[in-house]
Chain A
Amino acid sequence: MSTTAVPSKLAATEIAGHPLDPDSPLLDVEDLRVEFRMPTGTVVANDRVNYTLNQGETLAILGESGSGKSVSAQAVMGIIDTPPGHITDGSIRYRGLDLLTMPENDRRHVRGNHISIIFQDALSALNPVFTVGFQIAEMLRVHRGTSKKDARARAAELMDRVKIPSARERLDAYPHEFSGGMRQRVMIAMALALDPAILIADEPTTALDVTVQAQVMDLLAELQADTGMGLILITHDLGVVAEVADRVAVMYAGRIVETGDITDVYHRPTHPYTIGLMESLPQLDIKGGRLRPIPGSPPDLTMRPSGCAFHPRCRYAQQVCVDDDPPLRLPHPSMANDDRESACHFSEEIVDAQQ
């Protein structure tokens, strides 16, 4: 890129005096627990959430509405609504550095700088009364003290980089003058302004048409390949996940119920919920027979079922499922080398019973 570009955060060795460990994974979330304490009761929105993200990797967090996907992203960003939200357990390590024990003043240097986020609703995330050029430039001025003139030049570069046509002329346009897809590009440009090491995209294309979705996903993949950043893609769309993710973590009722390499999980799902999702899904490349939906609907987290939260809807549930919440563990001895986990009491039996 140009002379105003700054080395990626991947090269950083410390944040506000806290050392970073180059050998640790980019992001390591361990046993994360997030509670919302409401007058009507406590909602455990994330419970024992575990995942890691490596450099250059795309991790998809897949789940239905209310499963806790956005909460886990907010926890990583440090933007949980407190109160009522509280992180009550676990750790979030950014290249070895525990973000949860860090003083808030230092953590500000991580947010938006080392770890950035883009949301589904780009229009409400942008300020309607300022031009997009000003908003991108302002990020650079505040975080980096870039001069007004340089910030504007860099804003134009960034808009060009996210493939906004005639970027320079459109610096002075307001958010409402852009289409949904273009606004999402502006958001991406802002998120990338400070060269983050991790980009979290929370349903970035859910509101967009497939043609525009394809453009935005291709753009994200290209930017990731260029920068080597890690990408966390939060979505409920199994198709999008299949197209872009390296690894996937499937969430249900606040927990991760299955993780693994994307091809492994799609072709050999070991958790009954993941299997149920695959069976519910109409296919684009074949006129299939009848769908097999999962009966019932995802639970309201204020009333999480006991034991394995999936048990009321599960075909294989036994008494043990009502009593004990299964831990996330190796699903079957034959998968020892596959780096995958599943939270089901009967995953061995299920794998043995597949074809």
Chain B
Amino acid sequence: MPSSEPRPSQGMTVGRQGDGPALEVRNLVKHFPLTKGIVFKRTVGQIQAVDDVSFELYPGETLGLVGESGSGKSTVARTLLRLHEPTSGEAIFQGQDLFKLSASDMRAARRDIQMIFQDPYSSLNPRMTVGDIVAEPWRIHTGILPRNEQRGRVSELLELVGLNPDHINRFPHQFSGGQRQRIGVARALAVNPSVIIADEPVSALDVSVQAQVVNLLEDIQEEFGIAFLFIAHDLSVVRHIADRVAVMYLGRMIEVGTEEQIYERPVHPYTQALLSAAPIADPKRRAESERILLEGDLPSPADPPSGCRFRTRCWLFNQMRDEDEATGGNRTEKCITDDPRLEDGGFDHPSACHYPQERHIIASAEVDRVAAVRPDDSKMVVRDDREIEDAVKKEEDAQIEAAEAKHVEALESRKAKTIDET
């Protein structure tokens, strides 16, 4: 397991120092042209989806990427894999700049950087069997595994991610959301990647199933030493899984630190507001939490505010402006004219604010709520895990069979209909 102890920091580099990063992103910029007109498209501006983002991802660590919808998280992920071409910047992976690779070299690099998507429904080809989906990377990256060994390896991978290898010939639609996400994980693991970029991998799942997938990701990381870039909007999930956390706002990275630094000692006003808005699943803590309400919505990324991009919604800006009105000060001037860089502002981790200050938003829980609700097993009749596993498998098999039956029935009735009509 990667340790979650606080690490000494030096400016921007908060990760594990010794190993050297698995992936180093420098000054990544991705602008999308903003066009007008349907027949004659004219470019009328640039959507600054990602604007000058730099970070490192260390071997075996999980870096969580959080921020509001539209802040540029997915664009970072997709540009790294060159699903979008970057506007500028570098991404150093195994000594090479990914952005300078030829198409065929990039294909080879994708073997080591795999991606898992939010929507297991649309990211799996509905016409391919589970076996073919998991084996697909071997077809793209030939020479990894001889054909005659592929089926056996697929079975092993399915077993590893907790799926029944007997279902190798089934289709994705026959599986539940959690199972589909497991198929995506098995496919990513097929080529032994050193980096996995997971874009909202558990956001569409129910709580109980989400926990299964989170545990699975933690297990494979421990077993294979994979580095994760884990994108999510759920701040509790990110706290749970991440070693370090990066916060994005309107195309910029505005604060980076260890999980502890970000959740317990955030210094950027946006991070503080974000954390204060996140609900805590404990009704007893309701009254404690003082909420910093952000006003308004994310400004347009085609026309970000001058100076600090957060200033139009910054509570600290408003507070300073009100105070300065009385005293004649002018601290907010700098927020309007100077664009703050992500840098050491005198705290133990970097942020992009001219006036960073440590604030404690979330007091740590005093009691282990989970332990408090769990009945003492010695006082109960408890089924053993194997027995439950078997029962659940049986149930899932029945569901998959039923889905198959329904599918066949639908096909038959469609056929019957076409025959009727002709």
Contacts and interface: CB of A to CB of B under 8 A. Distances in A.
Interface of A: 40, 64-65, 165, 179-182, 209-215, 218, 236-243, 245, 262-263, 266-269, 275-288, 290-300, 302-303, 305, 311-318, 346, 349-350, 352-355
A238 to B, nearest CB: 5
Contacts of A275: 373-375
A288 B399 CA distance: 33
A257 to B, nearest CB: 13
Contacts of A287: 4, 239-240, 259-260, 263
Contacts of B402: 300, 302-303
Nearest to A210: B277
Contacts of B235: 210, 284
B372 to A, nearest CB: 6
B206 A298 contact: yes
A119 B199 CA distance: 26
A231 to B, nearest CB: 16
Contacts of B283: 242-243, 245, 262-263, 266-267
A181 to B, nearest CB: 6
A281 B207 contact: yes
Contact of A211 (B208, B277, B375): B277
A276 B282 contact: no
B112 to A, nearest CB: 28
A238 B296 CA distance: 26
B209 A297 contact: yes
Contacts of B263: 284, 287
A245 B279 CA distance: 12
Nearest to B398: A303
Contact of B297 (A181, A236, A262, A278): A181
Contacts of A210: 233, 235, 274, 277-279
B273 interface: yes
Contacts of A346: 380
7 contacts: A211-B273, A237-B279, A281-B211, A283-B370, A284-B279, A286-B368, A296-B395
Select the residue from B211, B260, B276, B380 with max chain A CB neighbours within 10 A.
Answer: B211
A215 B68 CA distance: 14
A90 to B, nearest CB: 27
B379 A236 contact: no
Interface residues of B, number: 78
B370 A211 contact: no
Given A215-B293, A283-B239, A292 B211 contact: yes
Interface in B72-99: none
Given A283-B281, A284-B236, A354-B372, 9 more contacts: A182-B297, A211-B273, A242-B286, A282-B240, A291-B240, A293-B211, A294-B208, A313-B388, A354-B376
A282 B214 contact: yes
A255 to B, nearest CB: 17
Nearest to B382: A315
B381 A64 contact: no
Given A209-B233, A286-B365, A303-B402, A316 B380 contact: yes
A349 to B, nearest CB: 6
Nearest to A263: B283
Contacts of B241: 282
Q: Lowest 8 A-B CB distances belong to which pairs?
A: A239-B279, A293-B211, A296-B392, A282-B240, A353-B375, A353-B379, A280-B211, A214-B277
A294 B205 CA distance: 13
A211 B391 contact: no
Contacts of B365: 283, 285-286
Contacts of B399: 299-300, 303
B369 A353 contact: no
A268 B370 contact: no
Contacts of A291: 211, 214-215, 240
A315 B388 contact: yes
A328 B375 CA distance: 20
Nearest to A178: B297
Contacts of B294: 211, 215
Given A214-B291, A242-B282, A283 B236 contact: yes
A132 to B, nearest CB: 16
A3 B383 CA distance: 65
A313 B206 CA distance: 15
Contacts of B215: 290-291, 293
A265 to B, nearest CB: 9
B414 to A, nearest CB: 13
A312 B394 contact: yes
Given A293-B212, A295-B388, A312-B391, A350 B380 contact: yes
B174 to A, nearest CB: 11
B395 A349 contact: no
Contacts of B15: none
Nearest to A248: B283
B380 A239 contact: no
Contacts of A296: 392, 395-396
A263 B285 CA distance: 10
